[in-house]
Amino acid sequence: MKIYNTLTKTKEEFQPISKEQVGMYTCGPTVYHYAHIGNLRSYIMEDVLEKELRYEGYSVKRVMNITDVGHLSSDADTGEDKMLKGAKRENKTVMEIAKFYTDAFFSDCEKLNIKTPDVVEPATNCIDEFIEMITKLLEKDYAYIAGGNVYFDTSKLKEYYTLSSHNEEELMVGVRDDVDEDENKKNKTDFVLWFTKSKFDNQELKWDSPWGVGYPGWHIECSCISLKHLGENLDLHCGGIDNIFPHHTNEIAQSEAYLGHKWCNYWFHVHHLNDKSGKMSKSKGDFLTVSLLEEKGYDPIVYRMFCLQSHYRKPLEFSYEVLDSVAAGYKKLRNRIAKLDKSGDTDMKLAAEYKKKFIEVVGNDMNTASGITMVYDVLKADTNDATKLYIIKDFDYVLSLNLLAGEIVSDQQTSVDSEMEAYILDMIEKRAMAKKERDFATADSIRDELAAKGIVLKDTREGTTYEILG
Ligand code: AMP
Ligand code: ZN
């Protein structure tokens, strides 16, 4: 398996510390609202990564935290606690909010065929471990107390920017909302390990600690939960790219200061899903959820396929037009597979060859789009249907697109199809206009845009026609 490692900024051969078990840590959701489909893009691609590792024969232990305390509205330790914001919005307690949105998150994951990690640990379960780690960081002089809070002292490290280049503009990606300077900090990049005093003194959940009654910072939870379940040496840590700074940078700082040695070998980051106005985020208020897609008549698995058709290291723009074309392609694919005849013997030699090729393709830094193309290749292969079904089922362990779930008979796609047709006709007309005005660059870019969605234009004497591949 080859994987791009944010730590080394290169694509590397994945070599786990132990052949027995791969340790994989995933930053879980902050449960103050529904996960939006952008968050879920990250979890879908991490799910494919985990399943690809298992498909290649590794045994994987995957751990995920649930952020139910400590994540402030700015990732830079300022602003109000996100959980409290959610509780106020809905007139509930923080724990009620946490339970409701944790359940909602796993229900979305189930609809998207995202496997539940082997260990799921809410941050509020681990207060003693946080206190133990912070105590040791203070003893080792990596932390200091100021104005009632405990801070990590980033100037004590030989290198702080291990994951990210020291480029302020780039780093601001993860530092949203109201960033105002905390005067207690010795260095701008220092961060809070334990709060007893914050601008907002209305924190609902507080615990006793050697530094007074308070609550943990956000970053400490992932370091502690990972160390608790996966030990001192971690293979793989995942998240969306906004986690690179400050969250993952700070996780490395405190874990390695605590341990006194290198902690995690591979860092896997999924690029953002954007809408037309930029990065989709929960703080924007108006965001797309799995339930909303369902209300509009989409099978959530269509969204999984939408994600798999793009590379995880590229930004992905959401649009209903593209989702419609994926839905149409998905329906055709499922129906083609449903027509295959189960009877007959499986050609196991051919199946093994396809498995090897699938590993070469998807195991090459997660080329999931080519993984899907391989399903079409199998359908065209010179073999019997039983073998095709066997191979597609095998691939679907990783892709998890319910490819063998039978024919899609519902007409839910009809309105979608007509919307899609309107879109294609509109594009054809725009292209014709561009050609008339001898603007061939625009005409070509329209044809390319459609081709990227599997829509091929044919210029005939009667005019332009189209064919949808898939
Ligand atoms: P949160 O619930 O905000 O802690 O985020 C959960 C996960 O979603 C983290 O791994 C984030 O990096 C990731 N994430 C946040 N926004 C997006 C987005 N627009 N596209 C993809 N991943 C995202
Ligand atoms: Zn985390």
Region label for 79, one of left (φ > 0), alpha (ψ between -120 and 50) or beta (otherwise)? left
Q: Which of 65, 198, 84 is nearest to 130 (CA)?
A: 65
DSSP 243: G
pLDDT in 10s for each residue of the chain, 470 residues: 999 999 999 999 999 999 889 999 999 999 999 999 999 999 999 999 999 999 999 999 999 999 998 777 666 666 778 888 888 899 999 899 999 999 999 999 999 999 999 999 999 999 999 999 999 999 999 999 999 999 999 999 999 988 887 665 555 544 444 346 788 999 999 999 999 987 666 678 899 999 999 999 989 999 999 999 999 999 999 999 999 999 999 999 999 999 999 999 999 999 999 988 777 877 666 689 999 999 999 999 999 999 999 999 999 999 999 999 999 999 999 999 999 999 999 999 999 999 999 999 999 999 999 999 999 999 999 999 999 999 999 999 999 999 999 999 875 544 446 677 778 888 998 998 998 888 989 999 898 888 888 888 888 776 788 887 76
Determine whether the shortest distance from the Cβ of 198 to ligand 1 is under 6 A.
Answer: no
Determine whether the shortest distance from the Cβ of 242 to ligand 1 is under 6 A.
Answer: yes
Residues constituting the chain = 470
Contact 154, 166 (CB under 8 A): no
Contact 400, 375 (CB under 8 A): no
Measured CA to CA, the distance from residue 265 to residue 248 in angstroms comes to: 13
CA of 248 to the centre of ligand 2 (A): 7
| Closest ligand to the CA of 68 | 1
Tell which atom from ligand 1 comes closest to the C-alpha of 35: 2
Determine whether the shortest distance from the Cβ of 41 to ligand 1 is under 6 A.
Answer: yes
Contact 204, 70 (CB under 8 A): no
Bridge-based pairing state of the strands 143-146 and 149-152: antiparallel
Tokens of 114: 């995202």
Tell the residue nearest (CA) to atom 14 of ligand 1: 39
- Residue labelled with tokens 């902050």: 30
Contacts for 470 with CB less than 8 Å, ≥ 6 apart:
328, 329, 332, 333, 376, 454
- Strand-pair partners of 120: 64
Secondary structure (DSSP) of 281-346: -GGGS----HHHHHHTT--HHHHHHHHHTS-TTS-EE--HHHHHHHHHHHHHHHHHHHTS---S--
Model pTM score: 0.85
- Residue labelled with tokens 């039978």: 406
Measured CA to CA, the distance from residue 65 to residue 67 in angstroms comes to: 6
Residue 192, phi then psi, degrees to nearest 5: -80, 130
Residue 210, judged by CB atoms within 10 A of its CB (0-12, 13-18, 19+), counts as: exposed
Contact 293, 250 (CB under 8 A): no
In our burial notation (b when 16+ CB lie closer than 10 A, e otherwise), range 88-102 reads eeeeeebbebbebbb
- Residue of 32, 39, 271, 284 with the most ligand 1 atoms within 8 Å of its CB, for mutation: 39
- Residue of 42, 101, 287 with the most ligand 1 atoms within 8 Å of its CB, for mutation: 42
Determine whether the shortest distance from the Cβ of 42 to ligand 1 is under 6 A.
Answer: yes
Q: How many CB atoms neighbour CB 458 within 10 A?
A: 9
Measured CA to CA, the distance from residue 196 to residue 410 in angstroms comes to: 56
Contact 464, 457 (CB under 8 A): yes
